[in-house]
Amino acid sequence: MRFVLVHGAWHFGDLWDGVRSHLVAAGHEVHTPTAGGLRPGDGMDVDLRGAAEPIARYIRDRKLSDYVLVGHSWGGYLVTRLAIDMPERLRRLVYFAAYVPAHGRALIDELPPALAEAVAELVAPDGSLQIPFAMWRDAFFSDGTADHARDVYERLRPHPFRTLTDKADMTGWDAVPKAFSFIQPYEDHDIPQGEWARHPRLTSRLGLFRLVGMPGSHEVLLTNPALTATKLVEAGRD
């Protein structure tokens, strides 16, 4: 299989390296581009289209097609944009602990109000958003060691907050191939479980889809890359 793996907020392409190594060892082709606003030197005034554009350019420059497009977390907004803009290149669309957008709704609209307010208070004057370590450790990285959590945290990059408030434009979604999967880590707690959980609240927007469960936190791609690779293959198969 050919995979295009799209990272989430505060991440960048190389954070997929552990997963990539397992997929490549199993004979798969893997691409891990970095979104606009998360590359060194990028400014923070970036909307969703601006974030997706470098990934779209990466795909076009390499003439990639027939790929499984995977979006982790915030990356669900980006893979949705890419699928709408290039539906003819897509084999399957996989949401990995990801947001499934709705027309006219931003990611911030999908958070519980108290959490949305808390996130907005963390925005710096330059428009960047950084996550406190305590939130990262308990809500995102709960299944990793303290040392590993700290090591990854120190590599995270400031995130352009505008990409969380930009409303999704789903015009053209009807042309996207109806081949969807959703990977659900059981200990995912970056947003509260229950009524605010992504599944089934957001996954219901997909209609028919393949649900793939796995143990692990929101950042299981970093804490258990071998299992993540296995689950990506399961989610991506025909």
Which of these, 158, 195, 186, 179, lies nearest to 35 by C-alpha position? Answer: 158
Residue 72 CA to residue 160 CA, distance in Å, equals: 17
User: What is the pLDDT at residue 29?
Assistant: 98
Question: What is the DSSP secondary structure assignment for residue 207, as one 8-state letter?
Answer: S
The two three-digit tokens of residue 146, written as one number: 């303290």
**pLDDT by 10-residue block (mean), the chain, 238 residues:** 98 98 98 98 98 98 98 98 98 98 98 97 98 97 98 98 98 98 97 94 98 98 98 98
DSSP three-state, residue 76: helix
The pTM (predicted TM-score) of the whole model is: 0.98
The two three-digit tokens of residue 184, written as one number: 């659900």
User: What is the pLDDT at residue 88?
Assistant: 98
Domains and CATH numbers, the chain: 2-236 (3.40.50.1820)
User: What is the pLDDT at residue 130?
Assistant: 97
